[in-house]
C-alpha cells in the first residue's frame, strides 16, 4: 500500500499504519482512522437503535437490567461471569427479570463494577429536562459533564450522589 | 515527582510499540516491525467460543508472547510481576517510577478514559507505559494516543485489576538491561521460522492459514448468529476495525510484517527477503481490500448471500496467497 493511499483526515482517531513511501522504502505513517472518518455516524446510529430497543424491552419487563448492560457493552455471559466472579449459571438466571429480583446487593455490586456504573443505575433510568439523552451507562470520568448530570461515588460503595451540572 | 524524560510517540500496536519504545528508551535501537518480526508475531486464528458474543478472528500471536520472545531471542533482561493486592502493585510501580524507570502495565482498554467512548471496549490485553506520577494521577504514554495523558490512580487501578479472560492481575514489566551486541541475524531467522510454524504447521484447524480458510468458509454463516440486520452490519464492519484500527499497522499486521522483512533483508543483506517483503505488501493490499469491502457492504446493508460469498472468496484468496508465501519463505531460512 502506498503512503498516499492510507492517508485519511480524521482528527478524532489517529492510527499508525505501515506503507510504501515515495522513495519505495517501507515505514510507519501516522494518519486518521478510515472507519471512524467514514462510518462513525453509522456505528452510533446502530448503537442508539440497540439501546432504544433494549430499553423498551427492559421497561416492558422482558429483560433484566443485567441483560441491558451486558448486551450494550457487548460482553458474553461467560466473560461477564468471569469478570464479576459469579457462576455462569447464576448470571444466566439474572438475565431474566424474575430472577434478577432475587440477586443480592453484593452480586449487583459486582455486576455494577464490571460495567463501571453505580449500583443505583441498575434500578433507574434518568431523564433530564434539558437533555433526555443522558446515558445511564456513562463512564464516570467522561460521561457526566457534557450531559447535564454527573454522578459521584462516595465512600459507601452502594451510594452515589447524582448532581445536575451546567452543560458545557 | 518530575516525569521521566520519555520519548512518547504513536506506534501501530500496543505490545510491539510499547516494547520497542521501552527498548529505545534504554538505548537499544530497534523498530516496531523488527520487534514484531523477531517475536514471530504474525498469525491468524478464527474463533467461535463462549468468550465472545460473536464469531471473531485474531491476526497476531498470543498477547505477552512478543515481550517473552524478545527477552529470549535478543537477550534483553526485563523485570515483571503480577499482583493480587492492588496496593502492593501501586507501591511497586511507584518505587520504580521514583527510580526513574518507565513501567509498562497491562490494562483493560475500557478504562482508558482519555480515549473516545466508541473506541473503548473490554479488552484485557492493552499495554500502556507509566512515566510519572503527580498526586492522585499517573502520567501515561499510550502508543494509540498522540500525547502523554494523565489518568486517575483509581481508574488505572480498575484497568489493572479488571477480571475476566486474560485478566491483567496488575501485570507490569520494565527493562532491566539490554545486551551490548544483540545477535540480530540469528534472532531474525528464528522469528521468521516461528512465523512459518505459526502459519503453516500448527495442527489445529482454526489457526494459521487453516484459520483463514475456516474464516472464508464460516463467514457465510454469520447471518444466523446476528440479532438483526444492524447487528450483522456491525459485525461485518468490525472486520475493518480488527484488520486496520485495532493496532495492526494495517491489513491485519501484514504491512508491518512486510516492513520487518524489508528491514531484515537489509540487515542480512538478503535480496530474496527483499522480494518477499514486496510479496507480503501485496498480500496486505488484498487484506486491505477485504477491510474496505466489509465496511462498504456493512454500511449499505448489502449483506445477502451473494455479497457474503464475495467476501468469502476474497478471504479464501488470502489463504491461498499466504500458504504459497510462507511455503516459499520456508525455503529461504
> What are the residue ranges spanned by the domains of chain A?
3-35, 118-168
With a pLDDT cut of 90, the percent of chain B lying above it is 97
pLDDT above 70 coverage of chain A, percent: 86
Lowest mean pLDDT, pick from A11-25, A57-71, A146-160, B300-314: A146-160
- Residue B292 within a domain: yes
Task: Extract long-range pairs of A81-87: CB within 8 Å, 24+ residues apart.
Answer: A82/B163, A82/B164, A82/B165, A82/B167, A83/A114, A83/B122, A83/B162, A83/B163, A83/B164, A84/A110, A84/A111, A84/A113, A84/A114, A84/B163, A85/A110, A85/B163, A86/A110, A86/A111
Provide the pLDDT for residue B5.
96
Q: Report pLDDT digits (tens) over B268-279.
A: 999 999 999 999
Quote the ipTM score: 0.95
Q: How confident is the model at residue A157 (pLDDT cuts 50, 70, 90)?
A: confident
* ∠ CA B246-B249-B251, rounded to 5°: 85
Contacts of A60 (CB under 8 A, 6+ apart): none
Inform me whether the pLDDT recorded for B201 exceeds 90: yes
Cβ distance B230 to A50 less than 8 Å, yes or no, reads yes
Average model confidence (pLDDT) for chain A? 88
At A137 the pLDDT is: 58
Q: Are residues B48 and B142 in the same domain?
A: yes
Q: What pLDDT was estimated at residue B34?
A: 98
- According to the model, what pLDDT value does residue B105 have? 98
What is the number of alpha carbons within 13 Å of residue B74 lying toward its C-beta?
Answer: 32
Residues of A in contact with B158 (CB under 8 A): 116
**Could you give the number of structural domains in chain B?**
2
Residue A106: pLDDT above 90? yes
Residue B32 belongs to domain with CATH number? 3.90.70.10
Residues of A in contact with B230 (CB under 8 A): 46, 49-50
Q: What is the pLDDT at residue A142?
A: 41
Quick one: B83 and B223 in the same domain? no
Q: Which pLDDT score is estimated for A140?
A: 47
**According to the model, what pLDDT value does residue B111 have?**
93
Is A75 close to B262, i.e. CB distance below 8 A? no
Query: Is A152 or A68 the better-scoring residue by pLDDT?
Result: A68
Q: Which three cell numbers stand for residue B264?
A: 531484515
- The total of other beta-carbon atoms located within 10 Å of residue B58's CB is 18
Contact at CB, B249 and A20, closer than 8 angstroms: no
Percent of chain B with pLDDT over 70: 100
Looking at residue B117, what is its pLDDT? 83
Query: What value does the mean pLDDT take over residues B19-25?
Result: 98
Tens of pLDDT, residue by residue over B109-125, are 999 999 988 888 999 99
Domain that holds residue B315: 210-330
Same domain? B150 vs B236: no
Does residue B149 lie within any of the structural domains? yes
* pTM summary value: 0.94
Q: Please compute the mean of the pLDDT values over residues B180-204 and round it to a whole number.
A: 97
Q: Does the CB of B245 have a partner CB in chain A at under 8 Å?
A: yes
B170 and B257 co-located in one domain? no
pLDDT of residue B279: 98
Domain co-membership, B61 together with B160: yes
Angle at A5 between CA B287 and CA A3, to 5 degrees: 100
pLDDT band (50, 70, 90) for residue B295: very high
- Tell whether the model's pLDDT for residue B170 goes beyond 70: yes
- Mean pLDDT within B59-81: 96
**Is there a contact between A79 and B164 if contact means CB atoms under 8 Å apart?**
yes
What integer is the mean pLDDT of B4-33?
A: 97
Look at residue B236 and tell me whether its pLDDT is greater than 90.
Answer: yes
A120-141: pLDDT as tens digits: 999 998 876 655 555 655 544 4
B 157-176 residues inside an 8 A Cβ radius of A: 158, 162-165, 167
Please give the Cα distance from B77 to B57 (Å, whole number). 32
Q: What mean pLDDT comes out for the span B205-231?
A: 98
- pLDDT score of A143: 43
H or E stretch at B203: none
B117 touches chain A (CB under 8 A): yes
Kindly state whether A162 is in contact with chain B, defined as any CB-CB distance less than 8 angstroms.
Answer: no
In terms of Cβ atoms closer than 10 Å to its own Cβ (0-12, 13-18, 19+), residue B225 is middle
Residues B59 and B163 in one domain: yes
Q: What does pLDDT average to over chain B?
A: 97
Please determine, for residue A71, whether its predicted confidence score (pLDDT) is greater than 90.
yes
Give yes or no: residues B149 and B222 share one domain.
Answer: no
Amino acid at each position: 500500500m502506498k503512503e498516499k493511499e492510507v492517508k485519511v483526515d480524521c482528527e478524532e482517531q489517529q492510527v499508525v499504519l505501515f506503507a510504501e513511501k515515495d522513495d519505495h522504502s517501507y515505514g510507519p505513517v501516522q494518519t486518521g482512522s478510515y472507519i471512524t472518518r467514514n462510518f462513525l455516524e453509522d456505528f452510533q446510529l446502530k448503537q442508539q437503535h440497540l439501546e432504544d430497543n433494549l430499553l423498551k424491552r427492559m421497561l416492558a419487563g422482558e429483560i433484566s437490567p443485567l441483560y441491558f448492560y451486558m448486551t450494550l457493552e457487548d460482553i458474553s455471559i461467560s466473560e461477564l461471569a468471569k469478570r464479576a466472579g459469579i457462576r455462569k449459571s447464576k448470571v444466566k438466571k439474572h438475565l431474566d427479570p424474575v430472577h434478577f429480583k432475587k440477586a443480592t446487593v453484593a452480586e449487583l455490586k459486582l455486576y455494577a463494577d464490571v460495567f463501571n456504573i453505580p449500583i443505583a443505575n441498575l434500578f433507574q433510568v434518568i431523564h433530564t429536562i434539558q437533555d433526555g439523552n443522558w446515558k445511564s451507562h456513562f463512564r464516570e470520568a467522561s460521561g457526566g459533564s457534557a450531559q447535564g448530570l454527573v454522578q459521584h461515588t462516595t465512600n459507601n460503595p452502594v451510594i452515589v450522589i447524582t448532581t445536575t451540572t451546567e452543560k458545557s | 515527582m518530575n516525569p521521566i524524560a520519555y520519548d512518547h510517540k504513536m506506534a501501530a500496536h500496543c505490545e510491539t510499540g510499547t516494547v520497542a519504545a521501552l527498548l529505545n528508551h534504554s538505548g537499544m535501537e530497534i523498530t516496531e516491525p523488527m520487534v514484531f518480526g523477531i517475536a514471530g508475531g504474525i498469525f491468524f486464528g478464527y474463533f467461535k467460543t463462549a468468550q465472545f458474543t460473536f464469531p471473531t478472528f485474531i491476526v497476531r500471536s498470543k498477547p505477552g508472547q512478543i515481550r517473552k520472545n524478545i527477552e529470549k531471542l535478543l537477550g534483553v533482561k526485563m523485570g515483571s510481576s503480577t499482583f493480587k493486592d492492588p496496593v502492593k502493585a501501586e507501591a511497586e510501580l511507584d518505587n520504580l517510577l521514583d527510580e526513574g524507570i518507565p513501567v509498562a502495565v497491562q490494562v483493560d482498554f475500557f478504562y482508558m478514559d482519555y480515549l473516545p467512548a466508541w473506541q473503548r471496549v473490554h479488552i484485557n490485553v492493552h499495554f500502556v507505559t507509566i512515566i510519572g506520577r503527580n498526586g492522585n494521577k499517573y502520567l501515561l504514554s499510550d502508543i494509540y494516543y498522540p500525547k502523554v495523558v494523565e489518568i486517575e490512580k483509581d481508574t488505572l487501578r480498575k484497568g489493572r485489576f479488571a477480571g475476566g479472560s486474560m485478566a491483567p492481575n496488575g501485570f507490569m514489566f520494565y527493562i532491566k538491561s539490554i545486551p551490548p551486541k544483540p545477535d540480530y541475524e540469528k534472532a531474525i531467522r528464528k522469528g521468521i521460522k516461528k512465523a512459518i510454524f505459526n502459519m503453516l504447521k500448527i495442527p489445529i484447524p482454526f489457526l494459521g492459514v487453516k484459520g483463514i480458510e475456516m474464516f472464508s468458509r464460516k463467514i457465510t454463516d454469520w447471518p444466523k448468529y446476528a440479532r438483526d440486520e444492524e447487528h450483522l452490519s456491525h459485525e461485518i464492519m468490525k472486520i475493518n476495525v480488527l484488520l486496520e484500527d485495532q493496532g495492526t499497522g494495517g491489513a491485519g499486521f501484514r504491512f508491518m510484517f512486510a516492513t520487518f522483512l524489508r528491514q531484515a533483508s537489509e540487515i542480512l543483506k538478503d535480496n530474496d527477503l527483499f522480494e518477499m517483503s514486496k510479496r507480503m505488501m501485496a498480500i496486505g493490499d488484498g487484506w486491505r481490500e477485504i477491510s474496505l469491502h466489509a465496511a462498504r457492504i456493512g454500511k449499505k446493508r448489502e449483506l445477502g448471500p451473494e455479497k457474503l460469498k464475495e467476501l468469502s472468496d476474497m478471504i479464501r484468496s488470502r489463504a491461498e496467497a499466504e500458504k504459497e508465501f510462507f511455503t516459499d519463505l520456508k525455503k529461504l531460512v
